[in-house]
């Protein structure tokens, strides 16, 4: 777990950071601060590894705070002002979140920080399978997902989106498409693109080298076309 603190003088913005940190499996919330002075005092006695820091604060800005620190934590700036981005990166910030930002944007910044804090770390296994379902770590909980409920799975670098027939929003979980592919039964699932795995039982329509799921079109990548065509030919009337 990466020891993490957050500093923001706006209560709602600070609470959002706290919620996002708690949702992220590899982050541990060590402290929340509404001003940089108490945060600096905390860091003298309780070292942290990662810090999410607002830039625009009264009395002492986030940029001024960072300049006073020696061997401080890895840094992600959080601000409503895009004009500070260049200065933030000059201070060796890992990333720069522009308010308002989504959990996906937050997660990308956190993953980038994790690669720097622990570069030799192997990706944690966050999937477990048994019979006709698997478990996914998502937000604050572990969610059981049945194979026959999965429509398709989308890979987005360090995390995946599992789209379900029973829910309008995808299940977001840290992991790789390669890991998921190795845990799914080959008789039911097929990788059709470097970013997509589909449930073969859920395919209703194929149109112009794309698999149609409602309003979503899943492309069939060139290197997967032969395998997918073999599946189609086997089941063609």
Q: Are 97 and 203 part of one and the same domain?
A: no
Q: Are 46 and 84 part of one and the same domain?
A: yes
| Domain annotation covers residue 16 | yes
Q: Would you state the pLDDT for residue 68?
A: 83
Look up residue 119 and give its DSSP letter: T
| Domain annotation covers residue 184 | yes
Number of domains in the chain: 2
State yes or no: pLDDT of 131 exceeds 90. no
Q: Are 92 and 11 part of one and the same domain?
A: yes
Q: Are 19 and 57 part of one and the same domain?
A: yes
Q: Would you state the pLDDT for residue 87?
A: 63
| Domain annotation covers residue 112 | yes
Q: Are 175 and 94 part of one and the same domain?
A: no
Write the CATH number for 38.
3.40.50.2300
Q: How far is CA 94 from CA 38, 80, 203, 219, 223, in A?
A: 23, 17, 41, 33, 35
- What does DSSP say about strands 205-206 and 210-213: parallel, antiparallel, or unpaired? antiparallel
Q: Would you state the pLDDT for residue 234?
A: 87
| Domain annotation covers residue 122 | no
Give the range of the structural domain holding residue 154, as residue numbers without chain letter.
Answer: 127-234
State yes or no: pLDDT of 50 exceeds 80. yes
Average pLDDT, the chain: 88
| Domain annotation covers residue 35 | yes
Q: Are 103 and 192 part of one and the same domain?
A: no
Q: Would you state the pLDDT for residue 122?
A: 52
Q: Are 7 and 110 part of one and the same domain?
A: yes
Nearest to 74 by CA among 57, 59, 103, 53: 53
pTM: 0.64
| Domain annotation covers residue 15 | yes
Q: Would you call 11 helix, strand, or coil by DSSP?
A: helix
| Domain annotation covers residue 110 | yes
| Domain annotation covers residue 134 | yes
Question: For 140-184, what is the HEC assignment?
Answer: CEEEEEEHHHEEEEEEECCEEEEEECCCCCCEEEECCHHHHHHHC
State yes or no: pLDDT of 205 exceeds 50. yes
Per-residue pLDDT tens for 135-158?
A: 888 877 888 999 999 999 999 988
């Amino acid at each position: 777990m990466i020891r993490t603190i957050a500093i923001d003088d706006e209560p709602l913005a600070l609470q959002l950071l706290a919620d996002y940190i708690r949702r992220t499996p590899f982050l541990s919330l060590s402290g929340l601060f509404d001003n940089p002075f108490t945060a600096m005092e905390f860091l003298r006695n309780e070292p942290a590894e990662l810090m999410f820091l607002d830039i625009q604060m009264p009395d002492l800005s986030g940029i001024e705070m960072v300049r006073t620190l020696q061997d401080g934590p890895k840094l992600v700036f959080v601000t409503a002002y895009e004009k500070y981005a260049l200065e933030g990166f000059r201070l060796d910030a890992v990333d720069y979140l522009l308010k308002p930002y989504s959990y996906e944007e937050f997660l990308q910044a956190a993953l980038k920080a994790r690669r720097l804090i622990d570069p030799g770390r192997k990706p944690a296994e966050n999937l477990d399978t048994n019979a006709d379902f698997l478990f996914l770590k998502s937000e604050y909980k572990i969610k059981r997902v049945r194979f026959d409920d999965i429509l398709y799975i989308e890979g987005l670098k360090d995390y995946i989106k599992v789209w379900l027939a029973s829910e309008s929003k995808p299940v977001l979980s840290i992991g790789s498409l390669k890991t998921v592919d190795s845990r799914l039964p080959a008789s039911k699932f097929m990788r059709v693109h470097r970013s997509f795995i589909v449930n073969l039982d859920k395919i209703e329509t194929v149109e112009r080298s794309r698999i149609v799921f409602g309003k979503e079109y899943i492309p069939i990548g060139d290197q997967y076309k032969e395998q997918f065509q073999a599946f189609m030919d086997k089941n063609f009337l």
